Structure 1
Amino acid sequence: MLLEPNLTTPFPGGGGGSCPPVGIQLEGVILPPVFTIDVILGLLGNIFALWIFWFKLKAWNTNNLFLFNLVIADFLVLVSLPLRIDTLLRGYWMFGDGLCRIHLFLMFCNRSASIALMTLVAINRYFKVVHPHHYFNRITKQQAAFVLLFVWLLVISTWVPILAFNHIKNIRNNTQCFFFASYKEDGSTIMVGTYRILTVLEFILPLAMLLFCSIQISSSLKKRQMGKLAKVRKAMRVCVVIVTVYMVCFLPTTVTTIGLWVIRSYRPWDCNAFYTFTQLTIASFGLNFLNSALDPIIYVFSSTMFRRALLGALPRALRCRQDTEESTVSSARTQSTTQQELKSMSADSGSEAIS
């Protein structure tokens, strides 16, 4: 997809020899079923999420605006992946130069936008819990819309150069749509280097922010009083879910990208290492777009209004059962809180008697 697996990869040394082409066999075997699962689960989850956001939510807040834009980011890749699935099964690209450019542009934008929006959701939760009186918690929906506009402009401007180049290559009498091959054959490595740097930076920097938010919320969880524990625990669950989805979907691609980068730069003669990381990179692409199928889990954990709308959309029998379970859990929590308060009062009375 983003590599040039059909091209012979030149490696200096060894008498000017080169590693034979990797071939598309592995890509054609692994990715079609993985991408198909991504598309099916992603469409089911995000269409349902879109229906809830559009028709069921009676009030919108900044958090729901961030989540709604994450749904839009998911649709960018969900409408693009079927083209790649068809190409992998068919063995060649048949949709022309224009769709090739749009296809690659949407896939890159999905990754960047998803990472940025998940980070926004976590930061929003961090401020509400750790700094409840901060100005960030008082921004209006209009101001949140400007934040989102800035994010989208940043993402689009980063990857819009892809639309300016022709990515169609005729390889062994087959038309292919590759990103890297276009620039390497033209003798330019600017976009390739930019892609590698962005792939690493857009993973590491948001990850640092996500971990910071999680650690701060966890610290706040230990300091808060009983009455505020539920809010902090909910925020902690949100961050844990976001970090988990983030690591599962984006860590493998980042690691394999760095691996290929290092091998091409410092071990150009090591064909075995190159093949290994190429295969790992191909396999990681399936996980890279799995976030579109997993993001609905983030919606459920991140938005109370979304969760209530989801419960309201369930069949009555399931809804009644869920209400009963929530009532039982709520009663247990109330009882536990009351017991702890009584114990605290008892301890206070005992200390007064001793004094």
Structure 2
Amino acid sequence: MKNCSCPYISFDFKSRFLPPVFILVFIIGLATNGWGLKSLLHKWKKLGIVNVFVLNLGLADILYLLTLPFLMVYYFRKGEWIFGDAFCKITRFCFNLNLYGSIGFLTCISVYRYLAIVHPLRVMGRLTVTHSVTISVMVWLLVSVQSLPDMFYVKTTNKNNTENCFDTTSKDYVEDYLRYSLGWTLTGFLIPLLITLGCYGHVIVVLCHTNTTDKVLKQRCLKLLFILILLFSVCYIPFHVLKNLNLWSRVLSKQCICHEWSNGVYIAQQISRGLVCLNSALNPLVYLHVNEDICAQLRQLRERARQGVTWLPVTPSEDPPT
């Protein structure tokens, strides 16, 4: 193997950047997802078709959030993994299930909204909760099949008596992993993204050209579209672009082809890793626009708070001296 002296890569950046992000996401994500799931399960008998997808979205978030404390310890110890190879693979597998499960269920919500608005007569009465449960199981199976090969790559290695836990794989297998990652990006991210954009693009066209459409429905659809664009733009697109670009940089470095931009790509990729985990904190925004019961609860809480402020006793003040 060739020994190359490429420009310095600041590997310690992730130990400074990721732990605070993980702490923030863990606290906010656990609170918002726990509240959202509790609200959904409270109305279990009235659980609608879309809410089944939202429920699975929340479960995917909780699954990932429970692994964050171990990653916090890992990065606080400056890249020293103390939990063993098997648990390293499980932790990375849970991240992938959350990431691609979230994308899958957001796509299902988009398709259902499209069918309900653009083809209501064809869909009404034909789609049931049983169908959505079956589709959800298929999404979990598909995401698991896509993520399973990742577990067969080397995830841990000892360097200077310190065990690392890779989110991709070691240098020895990086070429093969890049090919796998590109295929994974196509099937797990790009195709769902195109489906989501196609569905909501058509929905917006229909809503804008139909004067009889309820204004509240228009607003809810536009807000949900905005949230999905936010999730894909902030969380998903940068992560996939920079992940594959960083892998390509590692392949070139292994071939002794060095570039000055490698360090910038690495730092940007670590930032994108922080952004992509924000989806576990941002996904509950979807709850607000597909579940009317939760919106009603928020309105009640806001009204109670407003009444509480209104009924606060006012202490009479003395007249100012003249």
Q: TM-score range by the shorter chain?
A: 0.7 to 0.9
Which residue is 1:48 aligned to?
A: 35
- Please, which moves more after superposition, 289-298 or 50-59? 50-59
RMSD: 2.6
Counterpart residue identity of residue 110, structure 1: N
Q: Distance in 2 between matches of 1:319 and 1:304?
A: 21
What is the percent sequence identity of the aligned residues? Answer: 27
Q: How many residues align?
A: 305
Q: Distance in 2 between matches of 1:319 and 1:50?
A: 26
Which residue is 2:317 aligned to?
A: none
Of 87, 105, 126, the residue aligned with 1:99 is: 87
Which residue is 1:349 aligned to?
A: none
Are the aligned partners of 2:29 and 2:65 in contact in 1 as well (CA < 8 Å)? yes
How far residue 96 of structure 1 moved from its aligned partner, in angstroms, is 1.1
Which residue is 2:312 aligned to?
A: none
Q: Distance in 2 between matches of 1:301 and 1:149?
A: 23
Are the aligned partners of 1:109 and 1:156 in contact in 2 as well (CA < 8 Å)? yes
Report the 3-state secondary structure (helix = DSSP H, G, I; strand = E; otherwise coil) of the residue aligned with 1:300. Answer: helix
Q: Distance in 2 between matches of 1:136 and 1:196?
A: 38
How far residue 238 of structure 1 moved from its aligned partner, in angstroms, is 1.4
Which residue is 1:330 aligned to?
A: none
Which residue is 2:232 aligned to?
A: 246
After TM superposition, the score normalised by the length of structure 1 is 0.78
Which residue is 1:260 aligned to?
A: 246
Of 28, 37, 49, the residue aligned with 1:62 is: 49
Q: Distance in 2 between matches of 1:82 and 1:265?
A: 31
Are the aligned partners of 1:42 and 1:292 in contact in 2 as well (CA < 8 Å)? yes
Which residue is 1:25 aligned to?
A: 12
How far residue 61 of structure 1 moved from its aligned partner, in angstroms, is 0.9
Are the aligned partners of 2:8 and 2:263 in contact in 1 as well (CA < 8 Å)? no
How far residue 237 of structure 1 moved from its aligned partner, in angstroms, is 2.0
Report the 3-state secondary structure (helix = DSSP H, G, I; strand = E; otherwise coil) of the residue aligned with 2:157. Answer: strand
How far residue 218 of structure 1 moved from its aligned partner, in angstroms, is 1.4
**Counterparts of residues 119-130 of structure 1 (less than 5 Å):** 119-130=107-118
Give unmatched runs, 5+ long, in structure 1. Answer: 1-9, 322-355
**Does the C-alpha gap of structure 1 residues 145 and 20 become closer, same or farther in structure 2, counting only changes over 3 Å?**
same
Give unmatched runs, 5+ long, in structure 2. Answer: 309-322
Are the aligned partners of 1:73 and 1:114 in contact in 2 as well (CA < 8 Å)? yes
- Please, which moves more after superposition, 169-178 or 302-311? 302-311
**Does the C-alpha gap of structure 1 residues 200 and 287 become closer, same or farther in structure 2, counting only changes over 3 Å?**
farther
Counterpart residue identity of residue 151, structure 1: V
Report the 3-state secondary structure (helix = DSSP H, G, I; strand = E; otherwise coil) of the residue aligned with 2:158. Answer: strand
Counterpart residue identity of residue 37, structure 2: L
Q: Distance in 1 between matches of 2:138 and 2:159?
A: 39
**Does the C-alpha gap of structure 1 residues 23 and 244 become closer, same or farther in structure 2, counting only changes over 3 Å?**
closer
